[in-house]
Chain A
Amino acid sequence: MNFAFYLISGLAVAGALAAVLLKNTVHCALALTVAFAGIAMLFLQLGAQFAGFAQILVYIGAVAILVVFAILLTRGSETPRDGVYSKFPLTGLAIAAAVFAVLGWAVLNSASALPGAETTSAAPTVTVMDIGNALMSRYVLPLEIVALLLTAALIGAVIVAMHEKEEAN
């Protein structure tokens, strides 16, 4: 494994840890952006150019701003009165550690059977044309469904978060 992989995954994991552990919620959101950037760089390292840039565009460009706006709208940036962690933080950590242990065990044991072991094939050069063709040929149905889902979700989100008129007066 080359040095770049360790560097980038270190960045991603550090960002994720900071996003989860920091006290100040806005700092968490900014750390989350670092984690997203790390994951996007991992995508690029894996040769998935389109997915990497889509990740940057969607997550860093929109979701991070959305999270930060939500934090400000719900006055999250002030220090919470009763502590940052929920009532049973230890059990949560224990469960997460257990999950990681199981996943890690599964990955390590199956290391030999995984396909990537022998064929150190060069990264498949995926052009945007192929993605376009795939989207329009094999994945045209999922594309339409995702389009519908996105529209419905966003309109729903706006209605849920909208300020009711009658509540104002």
Chain B
Amino acid sequence: MIDKLDQVFVLLTQWVVGFLPAFLQPVAVVVIAVAAILVTFPGLFAICVLLERKGLGRMQNRIGPNRVGPFGLLQPVADGLKSLTKEDLVPLSADAAVHFLAPVFLVVVVFMGYAVLPVGRNMTLVNMDAGLLFYFAMGASTELSVFMAGWSSRNKYSLLGAMRAVAQMISYEVPLLMSSVAVVMITGSLSLNAIVDAQNVYTWGLPHWYIFTPWGFAGFVMFATAATAETNRSPFDLPEGESELVAGYFTEYSGFKFAEFFLGEYVGMLSISGLGATLFLGGWSAPLQVLGFVPSWIWFFGKVMLSMCVFIWLRGTLPRLRQDQLMNFAWKFVLPFTMLNLFVAAAWRFMGDGWLRWVVCSAVLVIAYVVMGRVGMRRKHFGPRSYRYAE
């Protein structure tokens, strides 16, 4: 019975596909799986929107939306309806084709990232051998859609916002890749299923998740920082800095296209949290061996929603970083630390079992963290201001 519940979706698909003729079956399986993704994650997006507004409210001593539906549960429906019915303005001087294509390209690319995420035990759409590389290839092309949006609106604010967003996404994409390379080094394969299987091992009932190893924890912290910056969230939400940039690269978007950007951002956050859970938090593996009876996909979605709550928590707490602080932090702290993390992971791999590698790796990482934190990030004393006029 337990196994049936765990594989309920797989069995359901096979049962449905059983009715179709043989040659149609592989196509039908893919279509059903894609349809499932296109239903669950926008559904999760609606829940996250409500979670965010109520969570932020509670953090600021207020209640958050509770008027639409019982306890505000229909608020996402109201938001969706509002953005669908709002008029979709396109500025006259805007470049209509690129202006229209930008959100479409963003949503398509973000959803393609889900093809490789292992949502549950053998519930991966495409079990690709180079799954992680595919995921980052898709992640890398979101910058282009951000640029298309910013440039095509022919508006200084949006162009500035796009420039900032692209610069930020590029400089935080490198640490994102580097911190996941450490995981690949230890697992020995780029396929996300293999990574989850490597972590799905238990000793004394405790799982072998990578976050419980020194290099894994450091990698996860850096991954989380880079992921927050990659999705333009909370401390790094400079591109849509309301105070100075109106709304960054989606200033000139309204109505459905704005909702698409909104959807793209949230679905991107869900997918990067999914990847973080898969790489460091053991994907769909249960936190304790005794809890193994719970279906695997519940653990995956639980971890994704947990990291969404952390995203919201960060948004409720941290002020926005300035552009130079943001860049400084990326290139002077996050990237060197992830590089060092690679060496520590290598040392971890070749020092063999035993307590020695725990001590050495943690010591190296802690010392590096403190030293780099103190040296790299100390208050820069600002000399006389030098001006550079645009020639």
Q: Which residue of B lies closest to A126 (CB)?
A: B129
Main secondary structure of the interface of B (DSSP, over half): helix
The verdict on A127 contacting chain B, using a C-beta distance below 8 Å, is yes
Asked if residues A53 and B170 are in contact (CB atoms below 8 Å), the reply is no
A-contacting 9-mer, from B54-62, B142-150, B266-274, B320-328: B142-150
The interface of chain B, by Cβ under 8 A from chain A, is 95, 98, 128-130, 133-134, 136-138, 140-141, 143-144, 147-148, 151, 166, 170, 173, 188-191, 386, 388
Interface size class of A (residues with CB under 8 A): 20 to 34
Q: How far is the CB of A61 from chain B (nearest CB, A)?
A: 3
Main secondary structure of the interface of A (DSSP, over half): helix
Asked if residues B188 and A129 are in contact (CB atoms below 8 Å), the reply is yes
- B contact residues around A69 at 8 Å (CB): 166
Q: How far is the CB of B85 from chain A (nearest CB, A)?
A: 31
Q: How far is the CB of B49 from chain A (nearest CB, A)?
A: 29
The listed residue (A65, A129, A168) touching B143 by CB distance below 8 A is A65
Asked if residues B144 and A53 are in contact (CB atoms below 8 Å), the reply is no
Contacts A65-B166, A128-B189 given; indicate if A57 touches B130 (C-beta within 8 A).
Answer: no
- B contact residues around A127 at 8 Å (CB): 129
Task: For the complex, give the distance between the alpha carbons of A24 and B98 in Å.
Answer: 12
The tally of CB-CB contacts under 8 A between chains A and B is 64
* 6 shortest interchain CB distances as A-B pairs: A61-B140, A56-B137, A53-B133, A57-B137, A53-B137, A128-B190
Contacts A26-B151, A53-B137 given; indicate if A61 touches B143 (C-beta within 8 A).
Answer: yes
The verdict on A50 contacting chain B, using a C-beta distance below 8 Å, is yes
Q: Which residue of B lies closest to A26 (CB)?
A: B151
- B contact residues around A26 at 8 Å (CB): 98, 151
Task: For the complex, give the distance between the alpha carbons of A54 and B388 in Å.
Answer: 38
Q: Which residue of B lies closest to A131 (CB)?
A: B130
Q: How far is the CB of B171 from chain A (nearest CB, A)?
A: 12
The verdict on A64 contacting chain B, using a C-beta distance below 8 Å, is yes
- A contact residues around B140 at 8 Å (CB): 56-57, 60-62
Q: How far is the CB of B268 from chain A (nearest CB, A)?
A: 15
